C-alpha cells in the first residue's frame, strides 16, 4: 500500500475521515465498512466501501480536476468499450477538513497484473489491443485534450533531468541514446483520437490472466494515441509484444513514440518515487530493463 507521503502538498486521508464524509453526503451507505485499498497510485486514495462500492479521493491539489473529468467522460466512453470501466455512482463534497470533491464508484472485481508474472500473456495482449482499438474509434466531438497525447519533445527537459538524477543508478549513456532515438521518430500528424493516457499495471484489472477492466480515467483525452503503447513495456512480456503491436496496428513511427513514452515515464518516475512508492519504482526499473534488453 502506498500510504507514504509522495508530495509535500498531500492530504492525510484515512478510514475515519472517509466514514465521516460518507455519513454526511451519502447517509444510505453510512453503516458500510470502510477499508483502505493497497494501491501503487499516486493521485488518489482508494477505500472499499462495503462489498459493492469504492471511494476515490484526490491525494493532492493536482488530482482534483480528475474528479469532475471522470464524472463527465466515463458515462460517455464506457458503453463503447469492450471491457469494464469505473461506474460513477455519486460525487462527494468537501467537508470534515477535506477540501475537495471525491467520488463513489461501483466495485470492479479483478487484480492488478504484475510485470514479469503475467498469467496469460497472449490473452492479455489480445485484450489490451482490442480495448485500445475500440477506444481509438470512439467519437471525439467536444473531447478534451490528453495531456500526454503531445509530442515527445515536450518532455525532453524533464526526461534529461531525470537521467542526470539517475547517474550511478542506471546506465545513463544507454538510456540517453534510447531517448534520443525516440525523439527522432516522426511526430503524429493524424487526427486526434482518444487515449487513456495512463495505461499502467495499476490501472489494469485481470482475472485468470485475462483483461476484465481498465480503471483511472483521470488522464483520458484526445491526441497522439502512441502514449497508450506504454503497456507493451510496463506490463507485457517481450514474446507477445509483436503480436500486440500488430493487433493494435502501430506503424514504425508510432511504435517508436510509444517506446519513447514508456522510457520517459519510467525515467521520471524512478528517482521521484525511489523511496516513497516501491511498487512504482520497481515497475520503472522493469521498463528500463526491458527497453535496454530490447535494444541489445
The pLDDT score that the predictor gives to residue 98 is: 97
What's the CATH superfamily of 121-295? Aminoglycoside phosphotransferase (APH), C-terminal lobe (3.90.1200.10)
Any idea where the domains of the chain sit in the sequence?
Answer: 15-106, 121-295
CB burial string 41-51: b at 16+ within 10 A, e below: bbbbbbbbbee
Our CA angle for 56, 60, 64, nearest 5°, is 60
pLDDT at 49: 98
d(CA 229, CA 62): 25
DSSP 197: S
DSSP helix/strand/coil, 154 = helix
In angstroms, the CA 208 to CA 179 distance is 35
- Structural contact between residues 166 and 184, judged by C-beta atoms closer than 8 angstroms: no
| Cα 208 to Cα 119: distance, rounded to the nearest angstrom | 7
Long-range contacts of 272-280 (CB under 8 A, 24+ apart): 272/6, 272/162, 273/6, 273/42, 275/4, 276/2, 276/4, 276/5, 276/6, 277/2, 277/4, 277/6, 277/40, 277/42, 279/2, 279/40, 279/202, 280/2, 280/40, 280/42, 280/202
Residues of the chain with pLDDT under 50: 1-2
Query: What is the reported pTM?
Result: 0.94
Specify the DSSP class assigned to residue 170: B
Q: Which residues contact 30 (CB under 8 A, 6 or more apart)?
A: 19, 22, 23
Determine the pLDDT at residue 5.
66
Q: What is the per-residue pLDDT across 184-215, written as a single tens digit (0 to 9) for each? A: 999 999 999 999 999 999 999 999 999 999 99
Q: What is the pLDDT of residue 143?
A: 98
pLDDT at position 2 is: 46
What CATH code would you report for 15-106? Answer: 3.30.200.20
Amino acid at each position: 500500500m502506498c500510504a507514504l507521503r509522495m508530495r509535500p502538498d498531500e492530504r492525510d486521508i484515512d478510514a475515519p475521515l472517509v466514514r465521516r464524509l460518507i455519513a454526511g453526503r451519502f447517509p444510505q451507505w453510512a453503516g458500510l465498512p470502510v477499508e483502505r485499498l493497497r494501491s501503487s497510485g499516486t493521485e488518489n486514495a482508494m477505500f472499499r466501501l462495503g462489498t459493492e462500492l469504492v471511494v476515490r479521493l484526490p491525494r493532492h491539489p493536482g488530482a482534483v480536476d480528475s474528479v469532475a473529468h471522470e464524472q463527465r467522460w466515463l458515462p460517455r466512453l464506457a458503453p463503447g468499450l469492450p471491457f469494464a470501466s469505473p461506474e460513477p455512482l455519486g460525487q462527494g463534497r468537501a467537508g470534515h477538513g477535506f477540501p475537495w470533491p471525491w467520488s463513489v464508484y461501483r466495485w470492479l472485481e479483478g487484480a492488478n497484473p504484475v510485470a514479469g508474472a503475467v498469467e496469460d500473456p497472449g490473452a492479455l495482449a489480445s485484450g489490451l489491443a482490442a480495448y485500445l482499438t475500440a477506444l481509438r474509434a470512439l467519437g471525439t466531438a467536444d473531447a478534451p485534450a490528453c495531456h500526454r497525447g503531445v509530442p515527445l519533445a515536450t518532455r525532453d527537459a524533464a526526461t534529461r533531468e531525470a537521467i542526470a538524477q539517475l547517474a550511478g543508478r542506471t546506465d545513463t549513456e544507454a538510456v540517453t541514446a534510447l531517448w534520443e532515438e525516440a525523439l527522432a521518430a516522426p511526430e503524429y500528424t493524424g487526427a486526434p483520437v482518444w487515449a487513456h493516457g495512463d495505461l499502467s499495471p495499476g490501472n489494469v484489472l485481470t482475472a485468470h490472466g485475462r483483461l476484465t477492466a481498465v480503471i483511472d480515467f483521470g488522464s483520458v483525452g484526445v491526441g497522439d494515441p502512441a502514449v497508450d503503447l506504454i503497456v507493451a513495456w510496463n506490463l507485457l512480456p517481450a514474446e507477445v509484444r509483436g503480436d500486440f503491436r500488430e493487433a493494435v496496428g502501430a506503424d514504425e513511427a508510432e511504435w517508436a513514440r510509444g517506446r519513447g513514452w514508456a522510457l520517459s515515464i519510467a525515467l521520471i518516475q524512478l528517482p521521484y518515487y525511489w523511496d516513497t512508492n516501491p511498487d512504482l519504482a520497481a515497475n520503472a526499473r522493469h521498463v528500463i530493463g526491458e527497453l535496454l534488453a530490447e535494444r541489445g
